[in-house]
Amino acid sequence: MSIDDKQTRQRNDRVTIRTVAARAGVSVAAVSKVMRNAYGVSEALRIKVTDAIDALGYRPSRAARGLRGRSFTIGVLLIDIRNPFLPEVIAGVNGVLAPSHYQAMIGVSDARVQLETSLIESMIDYKMDGLILVAPRLPSEIIAKFAVQIPIVAVGYHAAGATAFDTVNADDQRGAEIAVEALLAYGYRDIEMLSLGEREGHAVSVVRQREIGFRRAMQRGGLGSSAPIGKIPIASPKREEAMRKFLSRKDRPRAVFCWSDLDAITLLCLAMEMGVRVPEDLAVVGYDNSSTAALGLVNLASIDQSGRELGQVATQTLISRIEGRTGAEHILQIPSLVSRGSLELSDGTKQG
């Protein structure tokens, strides 16, 4: 660190709200009002204070603000960072927070209850104003206990009976139905679903909701209530081995609905490697409509649940909870199909 940098840092370390007030020629209370975006602050006062803050390089202590009230920080907890759906959710969160006084702090966990619990406790200890949990694996009663301490919105978590926290989801059952309906419309009748292993999902997870929708749509299409669902391990290399076995089966179905683009894209890559033509030999529909799905070499038909919109709605819902709303809200958004080459034959004709 240079001498100039050290001097700047030392100078900034000594800057307090009183220093800002003195520079702006206003009271400490006036500075506080501007920083809180309080009602009734004049534009002239706002300019005075913000000019002083910029000139002094003032950075308010979030810990101190948390002791006085709000820290204007929202925690976002992600469970599986590999999922290409997550950047859109985060973009939605940041889009709502950008013009506000809130900032997001992101924590990354995995499917371990102890680590997930520890990260939530840390966010509470840091005096964050609220939490957005994306596809949490914790039981709803544990989330409810945390929600007594801090406002919580869960995304990708179907707990419509929860009263202590809010949920924002795509209608995952309907999304799976749309995928099956599209395959049926293109003439495919031999259809399976590739899902996660039994221990990788629970009743409130998107995985199980999509399985319910798949079976219901298959039954409604006259294909039976016990429609086949293959279970894929979540971890490599067993995950890829299971997909290779699926592609090598003599009784391989003519079409497959994958629970997520995460597995659908891997399946497409393995199919190309093994000489299985898509969609001529196997039609594939994924779920999430991730940015990767739209790439020309991937060209994956996928269910779009608008991750960006989910992030926006979750953030708006959380802020309303922080500001005093007490009744639980459980919001469902209707997904849609984005049809691409993994579903459509190149000449535009339908199967059969």
By percentage, how much of the chain surpasses pLDDT 70?
87
Residue 257 has pLDDT above 90, yes or no: yes
Per-residue confidence at 236, pLDDT binned at 50, 70, 90? Answer: confident
Q: Does the predicted TM-score (pTM) go above 0.85?
A: no
Taking the alpha carbons at both ends of the chain, their separation in whole angstroms is 70
pLDDT at residue 140, rounded to an integer:
92
Residue 30 has pLDDT above 50, yes or no: yes
By percentage, how much of the chain surpasses pLDDT 90?
61
Nearest to 268 by CA among 252, 284, 250, 254: 284
Q: Name the residue with tokens 């579903």.
A: 343
* Non-local CB neighbours of 26 within 8 Å, separated by 6+ positions: 45, 48, 49
> pLDDT digits over 294-331, tens only?
999 999 999 999 999 999 999 999 999 998 999 999 99
C-alpha 343/C-alpha 256 separation (Å) is: 10
Listed range (42-46, 324-328, 331-335) with the worst mean pLDDT: 42-46
pLDDT at residue 260, rounded to an integer:
94
pLDDT at residue 204, rounded to an integer:
86
Per-residue confidence at 351, pLDDT binned at 50, 70, 90? Answer: low
Kindly report whether the peptide bond that precedes residue 237 is cis, defined as omega within 30 degrees of 0: yes
Q: Count Cα neighbours of 175 within 13 Å in the Cβ-side half-sphere.
A: 31
C-alpha 141/C-alpha 91 separation (Å) is: 29
C-alpha 147/C-alpha 139 separation (Å) is: 13
* E strand map for 172-265: 191-196, 229-232, 255-258
Per-residue confidence at 29, pLDDT binned at 50, 70, 90? Answer: confident
Nearest to 13 by CA among 59, 53, 54, 52: 59
Distances in Å between the alpha carbon of 349 and those of 84, 182, 191?
31, 14, 18
What is the strand order of the sheet 166-170 is part of? Answer: 103-108, 73-78, 130-134, 152-155, 166-170, 330-333
Nearest to 280 by CA among 350, 329, 336: 350
C-alpha 195/C-alpha 260 separation (Å) is: 8
C-alpha 106/C-alpha 90 separation (Å) is: 9
C-alpha 234/C-alpha 263 separation (Å) is: 9
pLDDT at residue 32, rounded to an integer:
77
> pLDDT digits over 100-157, tens only?
888 999 988 776 678 888 899 989 888 899 999 999 989 999 999 999 999 999 999 9
Mean pLDDT of the chain: 87
Distance of CA 10 to the CA centre of its chain: 40
The CB density around residue 215, as the number of other CB atoms within 10 Å, is 22
**Average pLDDT estimate for 291-296:** 93
Residue 61 has pLDDT above 80, yes or no: no
* Non-local CB neighbours of 38 within 8 Å, separated by 6+ positions: 32
pLDDT at residue 345, rounded to an integer:
67
DSSP 27: -
- The phi, psi pair for 14, rounded to 5°, reads -90, -10
* Non-local CB neighbours of 173 within 8 Å, separated by 6+ positions: 209, 210, 212, 213, 216
pLDDT at residue 200, rounded to an integer:
52
Alpha-carbon dihedral sign for residues 236, 242, 243, 244 = positive
